[in-house]
Copies of this chain bind each other. A is one copy, B any other.
Amino acid sequence: MMSKTESKSRRTPAKRAAKGTTRDTFRHGDLRRALLDAAIEMARQGGPQAVVLREATRQAGVVPNAAYRHFANQNDLLAAVRSECIARLAMAIEAEMNSLRPGKDPASYARRSLRAVGTGYLTFALSEPGLFKTAFSVPAPVFETPNPANAGATGLNPFQLLSLALDRMLAAGILKAKDRPGAEFLAWSTVHGMALLMLDGPLRGIDAATAQMFAKRLLDMVERGLGETKQ
């Protein structure tokens, strides 16, 4: 076993192995995963801009080109990171929804479901700004075709979780059938916009209490405004 790791001339795997990190097989156990993890960490601190391919390979103790055996290019790596980010966002929303008890009033449950989606969304955006920004860094045809890689524990992606909440509102009679189609986009817009305003926009650097207050008012607005589109 040990002979296997040391059998090769020590020059082959770059110039590490000098420090003897024990793991130094020619076949890296799971380079793809290592690169992805490094890239995710870079995205966490610094956002999409910060995920640089060469640095990921460096952290994995491997030559830059090795990355191209697992990702077509830097954009492909970024796409994989993005998928992970969306999955974590889904999990944050799930966590919020799972803390709900249906109770006896379906209308209340439905409303609380929608708010849970919103607060989960905003909480994640504020607590993991780098990952959140990465999740929405441009060209992600990610929600149209539900992608299992973007899902959380329940298997639902953020969009589907939002749809679920809206379906509950429909079932509870607090959202009219004619207002249901596309309601996702109205709710989503609202919360997504506020997240960005808090991260990069005029609300950047706001204190937690004020942030929560704005979030509340925003969700009030959505809850009240979603129904009854005129004519």
Residues of A at under 8 Å CB distance from B?
136, 138-140, 142-144, 159, 182, 185-186, 188-194, 196-197, 200-203, 214, 217-218, 220-226, 228-230
In the bound complex, do residue B200 and residue A189 qualify as a contact, i.e. CB atoms below 8 Å apart?
A: no
Q: A200-B138, A201-B192, A224-B225 are in contact. Are A218 and B143 (CB under 8 A)?
A: no
A51 and B140 alpha carbons, distance in the complex (Å): 22
In the bound complex, do residue B143 and residue A202 qualify as a contact, i.e. CB atoms below 8 Å apart?
A: yes
For A196, give its contact among B143, B144, B193 (CB under 8 Å): B193
Beyond contacts A182-B217, A190-B190: 19 other A-B pairs, Cβ-Cβ < 8 A, are A136-B196, A138-B200, A144-B202, A185-B203, A186-B194, A186-B217, A186-B221, A188-B197, A190-B221, A192-B193, A192-B196, A193-B193, A217-B229, A221-B221, A222-B225, A223-B225, A224-B224, A224-B225, A224-B228
In the bound complex, do residue A186 and residue B214 qualify as a contact, i.e. CB atoms below 8 Å apart?
A: yes
In the bound complex, do residue B189 and residue A197 qualify as a contact, i.e. CB atoms below 8 Å apart?
A: yes
A226 and B217 alpha carbons, distance in the complex (Å): 9
In the bound complex, do residue B200 and residue A136 qualify as a contact, i.e. CB atoms below 8 Å apart?
A: yes
A222 and B202 alpha carbons, distance in the complex (Å): 19
Q: A224-B228, A225-B224, A225-B225 are in contact. Are A218 and B202 (CB under 8 A)?
A: no
